[in-house]
Amino acid sequence: MSGSYRDEMLNRMAVEARRGRLSRREFMAYSVAAGLTASAASGLWTSKIAKAAPQKGGTFKVGLHDGNTSDSHDPGTYQSVGQIQIAHATRSYLTEITPENGLGPDMAEAWSATPDARVWTFELNKNATFHDGRKFTAKDAAASLNFHRGESSTSAAKSLLADVTDIKVDGDHTIHIELGQGSADLPWIMTDYHLVMLPAKDDGSVEWESGIGAGPYKIEKHEPGVVSELVRHEGWHREGAYFDKIEIIVLNDPNARQTALVTGDVHAVTSVDLKTLALLARSPNIEVDNVPSGSAITLPMHCDVAPFNDVNVRQALKYACNRQELVDKILFGTGTVGNDYHVSPGMPYYPDLPQREYDLDKAKYHLKQAGLTELNVELSAADSVLPGAVDMCVLYSEHAKPAGINIKAVREPNDGYWSDVWLKKPFCFVKWGARPTPDNMFTLAYKDDAAWNESHWQNERFNELLLLAKKELDQERRSAMYREMCELAKDDGGTVLPMFTNFVYARDKSVQHSGNLASSWELDGGRGYHRWWFAS
């Protein structure tokens, strides 16, 4: 056995042992089989596992960015990081993104599909309960998904379930989801942060107003945009939930957030200020988690509003962006250059298309093709979305100015950005969380009738390919379809996508985790609340 393979296997075993899935005896036996001596295996157990084993207890305090007084418990309206984080702490989903970025069970224990992927069966956890003690059943699961469906639904996740034709309840712990066409990604779609499981009412609707859920923690106090206090749900159906209590404090100002971490007022913070990242990392009591992800910065232009309704204007703005400088100066290297299509290098079906370079001559050419010698636009942003968001827009404006493009960076209020600016202002700064598959991302934000089609882009060929790719089980043909869709988004789409950001957050060294971190959202995909623990 090669040394590198053995080390990888031992690291995986250590992770499983820390999660309680591998006993000391099993760990010792496998380690010896891998070539370690008994004494070396014993030392490894002591140093890597016994000291790092999860401990129950304590109140985990988190400083969170992007919380708003307008945030609601209605899962169809989830937009802000504050809503997403609280949802993962208090509510559960059918499936989850694992710390290894795979697909794992949550409220569903197992799932399977017919050969054409048009009927999916989900077997539900028989021990799951809501915070008030009610048993979770198939009726709850069906009602929770149906909440986002139907003509009257205003949910942002409506487009994700547009192919669902029926959801059938089969006893207390099985549902069958029928689709108009096959979808190989349906179990991944069930991880979307809107699709929480909620108690069903007699009329088939769901109870969402109180904030009740079936997640690891239940709400004791909740002031949107200010503070939330949670206590462990003792009836939770899974391992983890090691903290006794959770306190989530909204600290939209990055300086206040990091000061709270350094002074010990909180144990972890989301979205550290990258300008001071190197200084923070030198602190002996702080650990920085820098996680590459598919989280994208987008600058959507409303394609049905002048001047963005001219594809040449859109192309000029794309060529006028020096992407590498934005990554270097705004993200301080904690990200990757984007290429104006919403599929990151870490996602399946990533097409390695020629990189769009910063090219002022091409920007001027497209401006001329639009009949313009000068372009004046406003670009809205708020630092609550990303520390340095406004600075990025100012730097972008400097890039564009030599091409005759004048971009005025508008600093918007932090509170209410998602309700008052995004989807309303014709050119704005947006930070997206990572989605697991291109279909999920395209359906949510680029499909012609998606509620979150932030650029109002309409492309008939793109939408045709989106429907074809959903049901295509041949991976080579499916990959070719996504490649063409990315080409269309790059050359015709209404979104400047300059970069993908790493999730960079920090915690006190007393807070421990397995060593693997999901790249879907901050704080281990929003699940650090139940996966992490205090060191003994």
460-471 vs 438-445: helix axis angle to the nearest 10?
140
Mean pLDDT of 477-493: 97
What share of residues in the chain are helix, strand, coil (percent, to 5)?
35, 20, 45
Domain coordinates in residue numbering, the chain: 3-50, 92-189, 215-285+509-534, 292-501
| Confidence category of residue 324, pLDDT binned at 50, 70, 90 | very high
* pLDDT score of 471: 85
Burial readout 245-277 (b: 16 or more C-beta within 10 A, e: otherwise): ebbbbbbbbbeebbebbbeeebbbbbbbbbbeb
* β-bridge mates for residue 96, sequence order: 104
Cβ atoms of 64 and 250 closer than 8 Å: yes
- 106: three-class secondary structure by DSSP: coil
Q: 292-501 sits in which CATH class?
A: alpha beta
pLDDT one-digit tens code per residue, 417-448: 999 999 999 999 999 998 889 999 999 999 99
Determine how β-strand 103-105 pairs with β-strand 430-431.
unpaired
The mean pLDDT value for 123-141 works out to 98
pLDDT at 48 over 70: no
Bridge-partner residues for 337, per DSSP?
Answer: 499
φ/ψ region of 470 (left if φ > 0, alpha if ψ in -120 to 50, else beta) reads alpha
Residue 475 confidence (pLDDT): 87
Angle at 55 between CA 50 and CA 58, to 5 degrees: 150
Strands (E), 90-145: 95-97, 103-105, 108-113, 119-124
Place of tokens 């859920």: 213
Element (H, E) at 217: strand 217-223
Q: For domain 215-285+509-534, which CATH number applies: 3.30.70.20, 3.20.190.10, 3.40.190.10, 3.90.1150.10?
A: 3.40.190.10
Is 92-189 a CATH 3.90.76.10 domain? yes
Query: CA–CA separation, 288 vs 281, rounded Å?
Result: 6
pLDDT at 456: 98
| Intra-chain end-to-end CA distance of the chain, in Å | 35
pLDDT of residue 192: 95
Instruction: Please work out, in degrees rounded to the nearest 5, the angle formed at the alpha carbon of residue 531 by the alpha carbons of 177 and 209.
Output: 55
